[in-house]
Amino acid sequence: MKKQTKFLELKKIFHRLHSSKGCLWDREQTHQTLIPYLREESEELISAIESQDYSHMKEELGDLLIQVMFHSQIASKNGRFDVEDVIDVLIKKLKRRHPHVFGNKKVKSSREIISNWNKIKEKERRSKKV
């Protein structure tokens, strides 16, 4: 199977797991019930990174992706958003916060990039409060 089709396969798997013929446990989960698993998987990834265990890191990144898929699937069932919306928001954020790559902003250092990132992030926070 081609690599670019793996995401589509993953989406189909999650759709099936949450269907009436899927997994009862998966269907019973909520955003709140998944919090302990999200914490656990995050800690396991951190441990793999710190020990530079790349095989384990690959597995733990997959486990975090399960969390992203799970929360997106639950939100989709409730008519809020789906994983494509999550990806769309991420793409827009990455482009917005990298004006030195996707815009005309000139930078001279990583420090300046971080400073710009924080300014953009703060501006985003302020505009959400309005």
Classified by CATH at the fold level, domain 3-81 comes out as Helix Hairpins (1.10.287)
What pTM was estimated for this model as a whole?
0.86
Question: Which tokens in the block code for residue 22?
Answer: 């899927």
HSE at residue 93, side-chain half, CA atoms within 13 A, is 13
Could you give the percent of the chain with pLDDT greater than 70?
96
For the stretch 9-26, pLDDT in tens is 999 999 999 999 999 999
- In 10 A of CB 73, how many CB atoms? 20
Percent of the chain with pLDDT over 90: 93
User: What's the rounded mean pLDDT across residues 59-77?
Assistant: 97
Q: Is 18 helix (H, G, I), strand (E, B) or coil?
A: coil
Query: Which residue in 45, 66, 63 sits closest to 54, CA to CA?
Result: 45
Domain boundaries, the chain: 3-81
